[in-house]
A = this chain, B = another copy of it.
Amino acid sequence: MSAREPRSRTRGGGRDARRAARARSSAVQVPYITRKLPVYEVLDEEGLALIEHNADTILEDIGLEFRDDADALRLWKEAGASVDGERVRFPKGLCRSIIQRSAPAEFIQHARNPERSVRIGGPHMVMAPAYGSPFIRSLDEGRRYATIEDFRNFVKLAYMSPSLHHSGGTVCEPVNLPVNKRHLDMVYSHMRYSDKPFMGSVTAPERAQDTVEMAKILFGDAFVDQNTVVISLINANSPMVWDGTMLGALRVYAENNQATVISPFILAGAMSPVTVAGTCAQILAEALAGMAFAQLVRPGAPVVFGTFASAVSMQSGAPTFGGPEPSLVVYVCAALARRLGVPFRSGGGLCASKTADAQAAYEAANTLQTAMLAGVNFMLHAAGWLEGGLAMGYEKFVMDADQAGMMQAFLEGVDLSENGQAMDAIREVGPGQHFLGCAHTQANFETAFYRSSIADNNSYEQWQAEGSLDAEQRANAIWKRMLEQYQAPELDPAIDEALTAFMEKRKASVPDRDY
């Protein structure tokens, strides 16, 4: 998957050479994308101000519940909110002012390989694999429960994908491990099999703490206290509830100066109103309260405004993806995050399809394009997502990663240099000739166009001669070859031993549990 293969290997005839050429995209590994193109806006100043006004009204009049966390209620009371049972109501502007006082507009999440540290916020975009699926799907095995082997496979695939900048978090649920211990193996896998940045456990405060302890072994105590080395996903229990589990994990990370993505999880029509404007106001209210809470815990702890946007089918109640309304929600919320001055998370290759078919691809492409143009800074679920997040697809993963490479190339914008203007080429070629052999083409052909690893652009006859494979079948060959070719990044054996020892000690300290 390296970007700059010698020309002799990418040209020349033969089925194998062509297959090999297809398996390599032209994506260049960069630590993260820095966009040179503007974002797309769907609302003007007046429209955005109206949504903000409505979010303020929700916060002030209706309030949010902070459940099973007495200390959170205490912090809110001290900060000036009105607390009634678990219901917290916020004077107008309180959350916004708390956030704007201390939350960074942009921050670095360090990777153990410093060349792979990412900037989250501003004009930057970081793409991470899908998150949270209990199942995997592959062309060979169909759908089955995921294991820790699958987890390691996806860590390896993300490591080898030049257009994924992040190792992600729960890339799939290793359901063959006990629930109360699997986070250790997940965090260890990210640390051991990749050198890209990763996400921490959020399923219980003590698991978040384990993540931080392991990060300290990897990065050193002092470094972790002063720098962000873990980012973690904190979902609201929409509508308008933050629950004790998530608040506990949030608190551990914020206390340790680690980043959290404060994410309302919206299936519009079920967890929010059936309209875009209503959904956006609710999302903003939930995100404001969550991000402000993180700042109360530790001012300056990095937070990301998150939005997971789906619309439920009004026929069946099932989540749908890739449609117009969730796209509008993402565009609006990205603009709201910019106005607030914090990084934004959304998007990904979302779909409801059970297989990596045309439905999956239309929906994923629509979601990815939206996220790219909206100005998403941290794109979770960028690769692998199937079936509303229930399955992580091996073939879908490499297909989506190919799309991520296209986005990187697109966001480079238009080269207006003399070489980009190519007037010499136009003069050289002239009317009625072709550009294939001209000097300018020869000088630029290696980097001229993004080269997809998945697409078959050959003639029908050649495609037939190669077995009439569809994209899913070609993707199947690609991920298998990647795993064959995987080589682990170096890790100091002393650190590896310390991590292993920590895990063993923690595993031995409690019995296995399935919750």
B-contacting residues of A (Cβ < 8 Å)? 10-11, 18, 21, 37-38, 40-43, 47, 50, 54, 57-58, 61-65, 87, 143, 237, 239-241, 268-282, 311-320, 322-325, 327-328, 332, 352-366, 369-370, 373, 387-388, 390-391, 399, 403, 406-407, 409-410, 412-416, 419-423, 425-427, 429-436, 440-441, 444-446, 448-452, 454-460, 463, 468, 470-472, 475
Contacts and interface: CB of A to CB of B under 8 A. Distances in A.
Contacts of A413: 42, 328
A38 B412 CA distance: 22
B316 A457 contact: yes
Nearest 4 pairs between A and B by C-beta? A278-B422, A361-B361, A365-B365, A273-B422
Contacts of A318: 457-459
B435 A271 contact: yes
Contacts of A354: 456, 460, 463, 468
12 contacts: A38-B40, A43-B416, A57-B423, A239-B435, A272-B435, A274-B444, A278-B426, A316-B458, A320-B452, A322-B455, A328-B410, A369-B369
Contacts of A431: 62-65, 87, 239-241
A93 B432 CA distance: 23
B54 A421 contact: yes
Nearest to A143: B460
Given A18-B315, A324-B406, 20 more contacts: A47-B414, A54-B423, A62-B430, A237-B432, A277-B415, A277-B416, A278-B423, A278-B425, A281-B426, A316-B458, A320-B452, A320-B457, A322-B406, A357-B470, A358-B361, A358-B470, A358-B472, A359-B361, A359-B455, A366-B369
B430 A240 contact: yes
A362 B359 contact: no
Q: Which of A316, A317, A359, A430 has the most CB of B within 10 A?
A: A359
Contacts of A355: 470
Nearest to A363: B455
Given A423-B278, A429-B239, A273 B328 contact: no
A280 B413 CA distance: 13
A273 B440 contact: yes
Contacts of A274: 422, 425, 435, 440-441, 444-445, 448-449
Contacts of A57: 423
Contacts of A61: 427
A456 B280 CA distance: 26
Q: Which of A37, A311, A429, A431 has the most CB of B within 10 A?
A: A431
A448 B275 contact: yes
Contacts of A369: 365-366, 369-370
A231 to B, nearest CB: 27
